[in-house]
Amino acid sequence: MLLMKSPETGIAPPEGRWTVADGQVVACDAFQGQLLTVTDELGGRTAQLYAFTKADLGEFLSPHHTRVFSNSYLLGLGMRLVTNRRRPIMVLGKDTVRAHDLLLPASTDRSLREAGLGPHTGAREAFSAAVATRGLDPIKLPDPVNLFLHVGIGTDGGIRPNPVAHAASGHVTFRVLIDCTVFVGACRSDLGTEQGNGPIRVEVHNELRRG
């Protein structure tokens, strides 16, 4: 059973809410049993989700291991997101968009320029800066889970980008299974399929909310 209060103190872990501006990445703490909600406030854009376990920076949320663990490249309700050690770190409990990517790496300054989408800060550079600001020094910067990024696979194995056109307030909620440091970005993909560039809202809370 996941506890909402520390067994040592009986106190619920702190909650928080953050707004991520275009091209930025924010960091927050999320503890076992808490809920993590990521919302696209204005619609039509993507967000990047990363996490390191509190106990070991060498263990992190891995979209690659999640694909193998779940035998799927599609992130769906009830799916467990796992670490590079194949331990479940989060589970997807609510999803109003139902279009997310577990295949593609983070955009970079260079990939955005080459796609004619620059100058904008790439997701990898923004993530690296946020990790350094947090005072962390991991041995590796993992790829993100690309929330709200809609891609498919053709019969020839080719990646088929689809427009990112969901409505305002599209969101996902995960149950946290391992204490972790979470990073959420509001950076552009290099596919050129986004329809918006509004803020991303991040919430860590202790109770399930309606809406």
Residue 113, judged by CB atoms within 10 A of its CB (0-12, 13-18, 19+), counts as middle
**Residue 189, Cβ neighbours under 10 Å: how many?**
26
User: Is 198 a domain residue?
Assistant: yes
**CA atoms within 13 Å, Cβ hemisphere of 107:** 30
Domain that holds residue 185: 32-205
Q: Give residue-wise pLDDT tens across range 133-175.
A: 999 999 999 999 999 999 888 888 888 889 998 999 999 999 9
User: Is 99 a domain residue?
Assistant: yes
User: Is 155 a domain residue?
Assistant: yes
pLDDT score of 4 more than 90: no
User: Is 1 a domain residue?
Assistant: no
Percent helix, strand, coil in the chain (nearest 5)?
Answer: 10, 35, 55
User: Is 8 a domain residue?
Assistant: no
**Average of pLDDT values for 18-38?**
97
AA letter at 52: F
Q: Give residue-wise pLDDT tens across range 93-132.
A: 999 999 999 999 999 999 999 999 878 889 999 999 999 9
User: Is 25 a domain residue?
Assistant: no
User: Is 211 a domain residue?
Assistant: no
**3-class secondary structure, 70:** helix
Interatomic CA distance for residues 4 and 204, integer angstroms: 12
Using alpha carbons, select from 13, 3, 49 the residue that is nearest to residue 185. 49
Query: How many structural domains compose the chain?
Result: 1
User: Is 18 a domain residue?
Assistant: no
